[in-house]
A = this chain, B = another copy of it.
């Protein structure tokens, strides 16, 4: 329920999750509506470890729409932000013209103040814009009391944001319509479906990624002859196999498909002209480590996936987490006087057999990985009931700013 203060400001605060694709989205068929060239599928990560938080305040006294991201005021006229605001307001108008007056607590002419922050570094390749736009759209919808196809609105902020509108395992259907109405996200299975699934984020570098994904995928669409083939001939079969693997909790198939799809995405980047590189030598060493580890056990126990940056996201099952973390720590010895190396869900400690480290047989690379975040799958966006957690103060301005 939106909270009204003495100064007639209404506040709502929500959180939204990060998602990590296992069937990748790369390439738009419509740049304005953000319609993809292929469907994609992701796992929603738990918000206990990674989330965006957004407070939206609304008041008759506000003179203009404003937005603050991670403490810094940003330009509200950014086209994608405007798309989301416009689409949400259109949904409200439609609802009211349909005669539903239950939500008319707020005038559509009232301006909004938006304040958003992530509990993880932006632009570290952790899909911050997906969580951010999902959170914005969800918070606005709670404030204005609308429901409906919110994922199609989030999609217009940042394509993959539509997948952060649900928890668990989420497919973004590419859709066929020119207006994008059918390019929406759908939950394949909730997070409770596969409780043993674990996710480790291996943070390789917090440098800004060299080529932004928007510009990158645009160049790929224009220049890669392999991209079109992937979209038309590869993804659809792979999607069916992936959904089946998830339904059956078949980690071996899930893991192999995840790795193959990550590699194919980076292959498309390399086939782009000029080529785009997101993987670096540390990323490649992680890939090699994973294959050697799996080869040793003659089964796919861990799987990697990489987005538009060098960080690895590892999928595995609960029973393998502590050993694999130990393996990573062995082959990428952390900086001894750095911060904690392992964040997030606790991981038990085990000792490695010489046989295993010998079988992997890589040269250890000190400080190759900055830290690991241990997490699992979690729910979609949530409303924060504790009003003390609003990011905007009673005056409608950020409580903290930089």
Contact = CB atoms under 8 A, between A and B. Distances in A.
Nearest to A272: B263
Nearest to A270: B267
Interface residues of A, number: 27
A287 interface: yes
Interface of A: 223, 225-226, 229-230, 233-234, 256, 259-260, 263-264, 266-268, 270-275, 277, 280-281, 284, 287, 291
Contacts of A270: 263-264, 266-267, 270
B267 A226 contact: yes
Contacts of A260: 223, 273
A235 to B, nearest CB: 10
A229 B234 CA distance: 11
23 contacts: A225-B233, A225-B234, A226-B230, A226-B267, A229-B233, A256-B273, A259-B274, A260-B273, A263-B270, A263-B272, A263-B273, A263-B275, A264-B271, A266-B270, A267-B267, A267-B270, A267-B271, A274-B287, A274-B291, A277-B284, A277-B287, A280-B281, A280-B284
Q: Of A256, A267, A284, which is in contact with the most chain B CB atoms at under 10 Å from its CB?
A: A267
Most chain B C-beta atoms within 10 Å of own C-beta, residue among A233, A271, A277: A271
Nearest to A271: B267
A271 B281 contact: no
A66 to B, nearest CB: 36
Contacts of A225: 229-230, 233-234, 264
Given A229-B229, A263-B275, 15 more contacts: A225-B229, A225-B234, A225-B264, A226-B226, A226-B229, A226-B230, A226-B267, A229-B233, A256-B273, A260-B273, A263-B271, A266-B270, A267-B270, A270-B270, A281-B281
A284 B256 CA distance: 27
Nearest to A287: B275
A273 B259 CA distance: 8
Nearest to A282: B281
Contacts of A223: 260
Contacts of A273: 256, 259-260, 263
A292 to B, nearest CB: 9
A275 B287 CA distance: 8
Nearest to A295: B274
A145 to B, nearest CB: 47
A275 B283 CA distance: 12
Nearest to A291: B274
Nearest to A232: B229
Contacts of A266: 270
